Chain A
């Protein structure tokens, strides 16, 4: 059961007004959403995910006054989670390359909704040229840097970026939902 974004925002606004019950519900949903978010991005050391979830919840709580009501709530949560993750990598001395997303991804791509989406993605990927396919797999799914992916193929970083960009555009076109199709 997933809580859609407008509900989270409503819960947040109620929490900011002092409604403890709404606020607790909000933190519980966020805790559920954040766990897969960190697990996916931590890859090797997913065991750290629970700690990061806790730290992020605490940061969300202590800095809740900085949420601007006119902005999407998911983007605010995502920015805090991302900052925590960058900080984690920095402490580990690992170069952090985390894409700046709009926050939609935090709620759109968790594990419960994953299987169907992965199926669609695989189908769409299969229709791209093989070289582009493997580049996108390395960079977007395995989160290698453009430089790493380019080096292993003996191509320039710019060429890799252009190829990935074109491939992603095609993918986006294939995956764009038709307006009149029922969900």
Chain B
């Protein structure tokens, strides 16, 4: 018998309830705060914010990435525990992805041919995915910090899932700047930026989430 049980139990502190979701929310929330401040400071809020708030598309652009982040966050709460799976939670991703894809198709098909370029490419397609990815870096860092104190054992999957959550909230932050109004634009360029964040997470997971 070693000294370890005595040493580890000395001065034992109680673990607060909901330890895992609280830690994840802390990492995510801290990151989002930085992203929103960054969007406001460097990109600026869209100038027509008050008018835009009267349009459905403004809220869809916030709700779509946020719902992806919610599902990914719930999956991350599972994957933070050893040998857990999150497939049953991840299937809910089909809902926001499917709904926005459907809206994009409907809008594209019903749009006048000459206006299709505006709703697919808008004026910012070239920068949108990169800015979404940039805005997702702070929450990704926050979630990596959170996960390093938890116990994920599927590191690549966990990395992808927290990348997806970070991409979702990053796109949410970016949407306060972006003036695009096309559903196809949202379905394609936002999703591309969010998936890039998920890919980055999958890349970093096996490296940064390794147990010490």
Contact of A65 with B20 in the complex, beta carbons under 8 Å: yes
Residue from B13, B80, B81, B210 with most neighbouring chain A CB atoms (10 Å): B81
Q: Are A83 and B211 in contact (CB under 8 A)?
A: yes
Chain A residue contacts of B2, Cβ below 8 A: 31, 50, 54
Q: Which residues of B contact A (CB under 8 A)?
A: 1-2, 4-6, 8-15, 19-20, 23, 80-84, 149-151, 153, 210-211
Query: Interface SS of chain B: helix, strand, loop or mixed?
Result: loop
Are B5 and A28 in touch, CB under 8 angstroms? Answer: yes
Listed by A's residue number, 27 A-B pairs whose Cβ atoms lie within 8 Å are: A15-B9, A16-B15, A19-B12, A24-B9, A27-B8, A27-B9, A28-B1, A32-B1, A54-B2, A54-B4, A57-B4, A57-B5, A57-B8, A59-B211, A64-B15, A65-B15, A65-B150, A66-B19, A66-B80, A66-B150, A68-B84, A79-B82, A79-B153, A80-B82, A80-B151, A82-B83, A82-B153
The distance from the CB of B207 to the nearest CB of chain A, in whole angstroms, is 13
Q: Total interface residues on A, using CB and 8 Å?
A: 37
Q: Which residues does chain B contribute within 8 Å of A78, judged by CB atoms?
A: 83
Which residues of A have CB within 8 Å of B5? 24, 27-28, 31, 57
Interchain CB contact under 8 A, A65 and B19: yes
In whole angstroms, what is the CA distance A67 to B83 when docked?
A: 11
Contact residue among A15, A31, A58 (Cβ-Cβ distance under 8 Å from B12): A15
A31 to B15, CA, bound (A): 21
CA distance A31 to B81 in the complex (A): 21
Q: Mark A1-29, 1 if CB is under 8 A from B, else 0.
A: 00000000000000111111101100110
Residue contact A76 to B82, C-beta cutoff 8 Å: yes
Q: Establish whether residues B1 and A20, one from each chain, have CB atoms under 8 Å apart when the complex forms.
A: no
Does A87 interact with chain B (Cβ within 8 Å)?
yes
A54–B4 alpha-carbon span in the complex (Å): 7
Among B1, B15, B19, B210, residue most surrounded by chain A Cβ atoms (within 10 Å): B15
